[in-house]
Chains A and B, each alone.
Chain A
């Protein structure tokens, strides 16, 4: 099945069909703007509402009420005039708002008056010894399989890390009859005190009661070890053991599956490749785009909504999507904006959705030893570069992530730095006594996902295009 975009020009192109993208596309189309939604996945939902239209998990209580909110968003989108293409990988976006998208092995090109990036988040790298072993996965990976294919862990399973998603996943696995042998909580003890001043906002947010009841549900069935300060996976070509230290005591347990999670970070690749300015966020420990109150970035015409704008969770993402879309409508068809919810209402909704976020960010700020590895621990999974390799390169003159590419090829493998970028920045910053902001990040460029040379060669070209590259 190959579906190319119906037009070459759109008022608004939204990239990503998670909470922010679904809300943005529906809002923009409702206001009468020609709207295209491009999404890499098989169906709508992004990660949080993954497989919302197709999940085989029919017992609604098992995935929880927060998941099924996604069905309403999809319904609104389908009721609108927005054009939606799935399995569409955007591989280029530039300052002219020209978009290149790969659909079933063929590239198409569209131009937008406004682009709303809703490319969401990815799980923060968790570079512990042995994290490349088969049998070590992210918690999000297990949740993806659970939602889209009703698959649950069957063998000896350990979940390690911290943050709300970890508890949600554990509860969902147990509800579906899956197995969890132990949960290793890496939340830093000192973070509880640091988070205390922000506790009031959290206590009065909906997260509090939900989080507490989920933790109770899980703790009734699974042994939970808190205060874990060291973590490693061992095995010969396959995970065999998980070793950890808690309360100064080391323990090693046999395991077939280790699920890691220490929060999520913005997926910056497309935004950075488009030239959008990002800054280091010292609380969330990641790169976040510089945006105004409507999500507009440093590149004229491109807005960012959802977790790609800075981690805020699904409810905030939905509202940010509506805000970015309303701003696009105000710019392109001001009269139509009257149909939409007023900006003041949306901003109030956003403030409500973001309540308690600082508490969560502070409490679940991952400890340095789980972000900045040492010795033989792999940093760059694609090119198999270790922490020691990076430090050796710093010792002989590598100044930052871009120079490091020439020394070690870090970030030059197929994942294009998605799973090593933050680690490389923090590791080099620490080694050189600089801040992550000073050290910087990989310079990202199109294509932001690999495409075949055959696909590039098949792109339609004009006589001028050929003249531009032929010598003589």
Chain B
């Protein structure tokens, strides 16, 4: 859906998406890194289980909700990637305690 411009010379940052290593760039948000990865990053909604991807990328729509380092329902578009970050794609409701 998206590709990186060749002029992007930012250093790589390794994150893990559902346990799989993904190369992101320093300064990417979690949502941008997921969309750039080419992986299927669709979450499913809490209400009907419908698949969703980020819609607004500016902290408004909450369609980028994702589990980051064990904490659920984070807005992936507002959180910058960090080396070794563990991302889990959310399926359905947030689980109690996560």
Residues of A within 8 A of B (CB): 40-42, 47, 51, 54, 56-59, 87, 105, 122-123, 132, 134-138, 140-142, 144-145, 148-155, 176-178, 237-238, 256-257, 267, 381-384, 413-415, 418-419, 449-450, 452
Contacts and interface: CB of A to CB of B under 8 A. Distances in A.
A413 B6 CA distance: 39
B52 to A, nearest CB: 6
B58 interface: yes
A239 to B, nearest CB: 9
A51 B25 CA distance: 14
Interface string B55-92: 11111111101000001010001101000000000000
Interface residues of B, number: 41
Contact of B62 (A137, A151, A414): A414
A123 B55 CA distance: 11
Given A149-B29, A149-B32, A177-B5, 18 more contacts: A41-B59, A42-B27, A56-B8, A56-B10, A132-B55, A135-B53, A136-B55, A137-B53, A137-B54, A137-B57, A138-B56, A141-B57, A154-B1, A383-B47, A413-B62, A414-B62, A414-B73, A452-B71
A419 B42 CA distance: 20
A233 to B, nearest CB: 12
B1 A155 contact: yes
Nearest to B7: A58
A132 B49 CA distance: 12
A150 B42 contact: no
12 contacts: A56-B8, A134-B51, A138-B57, A141-B58, A145-B32, A149-B27, A151-B2, A237-B50, A256-B1, A267-B60, A381-B61, A450-B73
Contact of B2 (A105, A152, A449): A152
A326 to B, nearest CB: 29
A54 B25 CA distance: 12
A41 B61 contact: no
Contact of A384 (B2, B27, B50, B53): B50
Given A382-B62, A414-B62, A414-B65, A150 B55 contact: no
Contacts of B29: 42, 148-149
A177 B2 CA distance: 11
Nearest to B41: A134
Contacts of B55: 132, 136-138, 141, 381, 419
A167 B80 CA distance: 28
A145 B55 CA distance: 12
Ranked nearest first, the 6 interchain pairs of A and B with the lowest CB-CB distance are A141-B57, A134-B53, A150-B5, A414-B62, A154-B3, A150-B8
A59 B61 CA distance: 31
A132 B47 CA distance: 13
B56 A122 contact: yes
B15 to A, nearest CB: 14
A176 B6 CA distance: 9
A145 B28 CA distance: 9
A145 B2 contact: yes
Contact of B63 (A57, A142, A381): A381
A86 to B, nearest CB: 10
Contacts of A145: 2, 32, 35-36, 57
Contact of B78 (A41, A137, A138, A178): A41
A451 to B, nearest CB: 11
B2 A154 contact: yes
A153 B29 CA distance: 17
B74 to A, nearest CB: 10
A19 to B, nearest CB: 15
Contact of A150 (B7, B48, B56): B7
Nearest to A416: B62
